[in-house]
Structure 1
Amino acid sequence: MLVEEELAPNISKNTGYSVENVRMDLRLVEEVFNETNIIGLFDKGLVGGWRSPDKPVEIIDGEFVWNRPLGVSLIISSGNTVTLAMLPAVVSLASGDVAILRPSFSDYQAVVKIFKTLFDLVDSSVESAREVAPALLVAYLKHESKVFIHLLASASLGIVNYWAGSQVEA
C-alpha cells in the first residue's frame, strides 16, 4: 500500500509507536471502509440492522424500528491510531450524518490523505462518493481554538464522539 509506506514513518515519529505498529494500524483502515464490515457493524449494533437508517424495518410482526440519523456528529479522535479517527467517521457518514472529524495533530496529515481518496472518487464521478464527500469536514482545531470551544459548548450537534486526547474547558 503506497499510502502506508508514505505515512508510516511520519506517524511513527509523531506518536512514538514503531513503524511496523503504524503500518499494521494503516492496514486496518482498509477494513474500516469494507462494505461487508460496515453492514456487519450496523447489523450487530442497531435494532433493525443495516437497512434501518434508511427506512422503517419490521422487527417483529407489525412492529417497526427506524434508526434516524442524529444530524451533525463531532468526532474528537485520539492520536495513537488512525483507525480510531476513521471508524466513527465512516459509521457517521454511513448513517447519513454530517461528520466533523477533529483528528489529533499526530494523525491529521494521515487522516486527510486517506479521506482525500473519497474526494478523488468524486472527481472520477463515482455517484455514492459524490453524495458522501460533502458530509465530511476534517479539521485540525487546537484545544484552545474558539471554533472548537464553540462546537463543544454552543453548536447544535447530534452527538459528540470523544476518543480522548483533548483538554478543552468550555
Structure 2
Amino acid sequence: MTSSQLADIFAEAGRVASVEIVYDRVTDRSRGFAFVTMGSFEEAKEAIRLFDGSQVGGRTAKVNFPEVPRGGEREVMESKIRSSNQGFVDSPHKIYAGNLSWGLTSQGLREAFQDQPGFLSAKVVYDRDTGRSRGFGFISFASAEEVDSALEAMNGVEVEGRPLRLNLAQQRSFISPPPAPETNSEPDS
C-alpha cells in the first residue's frame, strides 16, 4: 500500500495532512505501520472511530493516537522536526505567532498566511526531545511593511480553533560567554 492510497482511504474521516509509511532501514520494506496526520484533533478521532479494527489493504488495522515508547520520542519525531524546518526561508522581517493549536503543522501555518502580501515562509517550533509542538512559530516576509500589514490582518484570527497572538519577532543576539579565568597548570614548588 502506498502513502497516496492510505491518504485516499483516510480522507473519508477528513483532511489528511500527511502520511508517513515506516520502512526497515536495512531491507527497505514496509514495517507494516504508518503515521497518518489528520488536519485536526476531531478528524483524527473520526479516523480512529471509522478505521480502528476495520480492513485496510487486506489487513485488520489498529488505528490510534501514537504510542511512543518512553525515551523514544526523539527517534520517532526527529524527521517531523527536520521536515518542519526544511525549506524555511529566513528573513529579518518575521512575525512571532503564539497560542498555536497543538496539532497545527508548519504546512498549516503556511496555508494560513500564504495569501498575505510578501509572505515567504512559516514554521512551527517543536520540542527537540519530545517532538511536540511548543505552541509557537515564525512567519517570514519580504519587507517590514508587509510584516505590519500581516500583523494588522491576522492578529486574533482563529486558526484550528485558536486565535493567533502575533508580535514582531525579536532578532536573537548571540553573546559570547566571558573568557574563562586563567589557571596555572604548573605545580607549585
* TM-score where L is the length of structure 1: 0.30
| Higher relative strand content | 2
Instruction: Specify the structure having the higher radius of gyration (Cα).
Output: 2
Q: Which structure exhibits the higher relative contact order, with contacts defined as CA atoms closer than 8 Å and separated by 6 or more residues?
A: 1
